[in-house]
């Protein structure tokens, strides 16, 4: 019965054109959602402000006409002005990509586990059903291909765009695919800009829910270029708990604030080590520092990750923990953090 009502409703609505995307209001149109329960119909129209009046009129027409359909008891029309995620990343930005969210992973210092986090966040999100790409922008030490178990060079398609290499269902593009990783890359602003632009506009990414960008450590040209040329949804800053790392993480927080990139949160990596023998937590690099820092800057604290030997081995062997052993302790910690980001 209810399928029949839904079918009759779409039979009617599809005669009308969506003012925003010019598509009919049928099942495939993302701007209309219909829920039917016992003849009570809730229609939600996602409205862009520009066409508000047109949507309002359409809503009135739908309400009036659909109430005459057999079996319909009540009709409720809601106009929601949700921003389409895609718009944010394709309009007014020089680096174009069809990704609903672009998340930059940053750190003040090298060696704190930034790339490991980027890869495992991508893997965790994939496990949770999202379509994810990872862009390794660490021009001074691209390590994502190795951690993803990917080697080789991407090929170009007929449109002269590079096809990202893929493993575990995650599309991957790295500066390491374009330059020899052993060549010291002493790049200045314009070269960094060109390389990053190539990795966005010159790559056939397809449609993604999340693009995870592994930035180089510090607050240099790559960070500024990304902030100014791509519509970053936000940044996540990785730090270890000790003061020397946190001092540099602070610089990263200040930089993102200055360039108006939202900070999704701070993650403390290598927070503690659980000894195989005594099973106690050992706080090798001190404890609680990143949480305090997050409170001080009023940014979310996303969680702590333990020092985990299996993770180090998995990373070296190109098997992200969340895919290799999703039930493992460290994978669970990454998954917890990933869930906070959706
Ligand atoms: P960064 O990107 O900050 O330079 P990496 O992600 O390359 O740091 O990590 C540096 C090293 O530390 C790598 O060998 C990685 O496997 C290891 N590592 C990172 N996080 C952890 C962790 N939580 N437990 C154990 N090893 C880790």
Q: If you count DSSP H runs as helices and E runs as strands, how many of each does the chain have, helices first?
A: 13, 13
* Least confident range of 47-51, 77-81, 96-100, 220-224: 47-51
Q: Which residues contact 328 (CB under 8 A, 6 or more apart)?
A: 310, 321
Q: Are strands 165-167 and 170-174 parallel, antiparallel or unpaired?
A: antiparallel
Q: Domain containing 35 — which CATH number? A: 3.30.300.130
Which of 61, 82, 103 is the endpoint of a domain? 82
What is the reported pTM? 0.75
155, 290, 338 from 295: Cα distances, Å: 46, 9, 20
CA angle 232, 81, 100 (to 5 degrees): 30
Q: Are residues 169 and 300 in the same domain?
A: yes
Q: Are residues 268 and 133 in the same domain?
A: yes
235 C-beta closer than 6 A to ligand 1: no
What is the number of the ligand 1 atom nearest to the C-alpha of 305? 23
How many domains is the chain built from? 2
Q: Are residues 8 and 100 in the same domain?
A: no
| pLDDT tens per residue, range 31-81 | 888 888 888 888 888 877 667 788 889 999 999 999 999 889 988 888 776
Which of 47, 82, 117 is the endpoint of a domain? 82
The pLDDT value given to residue 281: 93
Whether the Cβ atoms of residue 14 and residue 26 lie closer than 8 Å to each other: yes
119 C-beta closer than 6 A to ligand 1: no
Q: Are residues 29 and 120 in the same domain?
A: no
Q: How many residues does the chain have?
A: 342
Residue nearest to atom 17 of ligand 1 (CA): 312
Q: Are residues 164 and 300 in the same domain?
A: yes
Ligand 1 center–CA 315 separation, angstroms: 8
**Which of the pair, 30 or 135, is modelled with greater confidence?**
135
Of 143, 147, 175, 315, the residue with max ligand 1 atoms within 8 A of its CB, to mutate for a pocket test, comes to 315
Q: Which residues contact 234 (CB under 8 A, 6 or more apart)?
A: 103, 104, 261, 262, 263, 264
Residues 222-233 have a mean pLDDT of 90
Q: Are residues 156 and 21 in the same domain?
A: no
* Least confident range of 34-48, 83-97, 224-238, 247-261: 83-97
The Cα 299–Cα 221 span in angstroms is 24
Tokens for 91, please give them: 């309009």
Q: Domain containing 179 — which CATH number? A: 3.40.50.300
What is the number of the ligand 1 atom nearest to the C-alpha of 309? 25
Q: Are residues 266 and 309 in the same domain?
A: yes
pLDDT at 28 over 60: yes
Question: In the chain, pLDDT over 90 holds for what percent of residues?
Answer: 59
Tokens for 207, please give them: 């449609």
- pLDDT tier, 91 (very low <50, low <70, confident <90, very high otherwise): low
Q: Are residues 22 and 41 in the same domain?
A: yes
Which of 57, 82, 107 is the endpoint of a domain? 82
Q: Are residues 195 and 54 in the same domain?
A: no
Q: Are residues 188 and 337 in the same domain?
A: yes
Q: Are strands 165-167 and 132-136 parallel, antiparallel or unpaired?
A: unpaired
The pLDDT value given to residue 86: 43
Q: Are residues 127 and 52 in the same domain?
A: no
**Which of the pair, 245 or 207, is modelled with greater confidence?**
207
Residues 251-280 have a mean pLDDT of 91
Name the residue range of residue 56's domain: 3-82
Q: Are residues 134 and 271 in the same domain?
A: yes
């Amino acid at each position: 019965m209810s399928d029949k009502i839904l079918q009759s409703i779409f039979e009617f609505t599809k005669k009308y054109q969506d003012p925003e995307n010019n598509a009919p209001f049928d099942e495939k149109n993302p701007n209309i959602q219909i829920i039917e329960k016992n003849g009570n119909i809730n229609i939600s129209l996602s409205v862009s402000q520009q066409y508000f009046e047109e949507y309002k009129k359409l809503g009135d027409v739908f309400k009036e006409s659909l109430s005459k359909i057999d079996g319909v008891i009540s009709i409720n029309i809601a106009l929601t002005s949700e921003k389409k995620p895609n718009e944010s990343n394709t309009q007014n930005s020089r680096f174009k990509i069809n990704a609903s969210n672009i998340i930059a992973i940053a750190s003040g210092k090298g060696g704190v586990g930034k790339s490991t986090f980027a890869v495992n966040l991508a893997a965790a999100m994939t496990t949770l059903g999202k379509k994810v790409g990872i862009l390794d922008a660490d021009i001074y030490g691209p390590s994502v291909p190795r951690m993803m178990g990917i080697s080789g060079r991407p090929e170009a398609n007929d449109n002269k765009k590079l096809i990202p290499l893929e493993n575990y269902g995650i599309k991957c593009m790295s500066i390491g695919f374009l330059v020899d990783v052993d060549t010291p890359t002493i790049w200045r602003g314009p070269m960094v800009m060109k390389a990053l632009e190539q990795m966005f506009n010159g790559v056939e990414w397809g449609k993604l829910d999340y693009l995870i960008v592994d930035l180089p450590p510090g607050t240099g040209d790559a960070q500024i270029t990304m902030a100014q040329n791509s519509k970053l949804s936000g940044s996540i800053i990785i730090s270890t708990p000790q003061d020397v790392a946190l001092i540099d993480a602070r610089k990263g927080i200040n930089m993102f604030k200055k360039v108006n990139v939202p900070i999704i949160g701070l993650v403390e990596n290598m927070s503690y080590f659980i000894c195989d023998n005594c099973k106690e937590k050992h706080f090798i690099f001190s404890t609680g520092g990143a949480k305090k820092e997050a409170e001080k800057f009023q940014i979310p604290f996303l969680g702590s990750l333990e020092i985990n030997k299996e993770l180090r081995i998995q990373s070296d062997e190109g098997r992200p923990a969340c895919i290799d052993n999703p039930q493992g302790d460290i994978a669970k910690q990454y998954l917890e953090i990933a869930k906070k980001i959706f």
